[in-house]
Amino acid sequence: MHIRVERDTLAQAVTWAARTLPSRPSMPVLSGVMLIAEQESLTLSSFDYEISARVHVNVDVIKPGKALVSGRLLADITKALPAAPVVLKLEGNRVLIECGRSSFTLPTLPVEDYPALPDMPTTAGNVDGDVFAEAVAQVAIAAGKDDTIPVLTGIRMEIDGSNITLAATDRYRLAVRTFPWSPTKTSIELNTLIPARILADAAKSMGSAKVVELAIAPDGEKLIGFEAQGMRTTTRLLDGEFPKYRSLLPNESSTTAIVDTAELVNAVKRVALVAERNTPIRMSFNNGEIHMRAGSGDDAQANEILEVEVEGDPIEIAFNPGYLLDGLNAIDAPKARFSFTLATKPAVITGVTSENTDMPADYRYLLMPVRLTG
């Protein structure tokens, strides 16, 4: 193998292929990225039996061939290279990397021991790249991080005809987003659970694409794939029963409040400065104002009041400030609407983007309150 390629092109491709490499691979070869040069392209791929990544880039192929090298080390090297064309050459059992006056040699891993990547499932439809990236990012913030409860580390994807609904929860908050897509068959229906970290990473990387293709394996294979701009990834689906989240979303509210999102974000950040770890911020909604406060007794204290449009009964409620900020930042709207039932029940935060505040929200962020004491 002997190729010549632009530094940025190579660095981006290696970063994509190496991003899902396991930190503790079950076999040494699974720490590698496979490089295959043929015709006028270089294919880079990685696989750990759960997640695969593959990307094609145009290069000048002087001599076709393939090699398997440490993915993380190759990614670190390519990102650090000077701004100049890169030459990769296989010499015996080592790969030589030359860029400007910099050069590296990497030992190869046995190509014959590397597993075959799974085939891409059948394409089921496509979605706008920016819509896909935004929707996944909005929902992924609520996914659990505790690997001892695998079902909560996933994002539930529900496909019903021309709409996709994503949902994630860590038991303290729930995020739900619905968006349109273009299916190959309008009769398609699917409920599945995708690892949140993998889906979020793929959506972010493919966000600049005009369209992202979704590929779904037949029932029983538990595999889903995404492809855009020469990048392709597949992942095994998670097992387990996702919580019946729709029953958590209230159909009515006793109090609603609409507030300027940016002003509230800044105010929460200020008040949270005196809130120790896991200490909530108290919020009182009454008489056209939100009164926020944190801290008590001999500790540092903070108070702030904002104007708000309130309809319904006065209410005092408390939230984890970090979770609250996550939701406010995710709604991506100039104004935020809070819908309350009781101070002990979850609140729903949605964005208000037009004068018609009764429009149904395509994104909902449900946040559990912190129990008030004293």
Concatenating the DSSP letter of every residue in 282-344 gives EEEEETTEEEEEE--TTS--EEEEEE-EEEES-EEEEE-HHHHHHHHHHH-SSEEEEEES-TT
Q: Which two tokens stand for residue 290?
A: 């939100």
Stated as kind and residue range, the H or E segment containing 204 is helix 196-205
Is the torsion defined by CA of 333, 335, 340, 344 positive or negative?
positive
122-246 homologous superfamily: DNA Polymerase III, subunit A, domain 2 (3.10.150.10)
Tell me how far the alpha carbon of residue 330 is from its chain's centroid: 12
Which range (95-99, 104-108, 159-163, 358-362) has the least confidence? 358-362
Name the helix (H) or strand (E) containing 271: helix 261-271
pLDDT above 90 covers a percentage of the chain that reads 86
Look at residue 76 and give its three-state secondary structure.
helix
CATH 3.10.150.10 in the chain: give the residue spans: 2-113, 122-246, 250-367
Residue 275: the pLDDT is 85
Q: Lowest mean pLDDT: which of 34-38, 43-47, 355-359?
A: 355-359
Going by pLDDT thresholds of 50, 70 and 90, the confidence category of residue 353 is: confident
* pLDDT value for 75: 96
96: left (phi over 0), alpha (psi -120 to 50) or beta: beta
- Starting at the edge strand found earlier in the chain, the sheet holding 255-260 runs 189-195, 154-160, 163-169, 173-180, 363-367, 347-352, 335-340, 255-260, 309-312
Q: How many CA atoms lie within 13 A of 347 on its CB side?
A: 28
Q: How many CB atoms lie within 10 A of CB 196?
A: 25
Chain position carrying tokens 């392709």? 232
Asked whether the predicted pLDDT for residue 323 surpasses 60, the reply is yes
The DSSP string of 11-69 is: HHHHHHHHTT--SS-SSGGGGEEEEEEETTEEEEEEE-SSEEEEEEEE-EEEE-EEEEE
The one-character DSSP state at 230 is: T
Beta bridge pairs of residue 165 = 158, 178
Distance CA 125, CA 225 (A): 11
Q: Residue 187: pLDDT band by 50, 70, 90 thresholds? A: confident
pLDDT confidence of residue 207: 92
CA distance 142 to 154: 10
Whether pLDDT at 237 is above 80: yes
**279 has a pLDDT exceeding 90:** no
**This prediction's pTM:** 0.92
Report percent pLDDT > 70 for the chain: 97
More confident residue, 359 or 281: 281
The whole-angstrom separation of Cα 100 and Cα 83 is 8
- Output the pLDDT for position 195: 96
What backbone phi and psi angles, to 5 degrees, belong to 258? Answer: -120, 130
At residue 359, what is the residue type? M
pLDDT bracket for residue 113 (50, 70, 90): very high
Average pLDDT over residues 241-264: 94
CATH T-level assignment (fold) for domain 250-367: DNA Polymerase III; Chain A, domain 2 (3.10.150)
Residue 20 has a pLDDT of 86
CATH 3.10.150.10 fits 2-113, yes or no: yes
Secondary structure of residue 145 in the 3-state scheme: coil
pLDDT grade, residue 355 (50/70/90)? low
Determine the pLDDT at residue 358: 54
Q: What is the pLDDT of residues 256-277, one digit of tens each?
A: 999 999 999 999 999 999 987 7
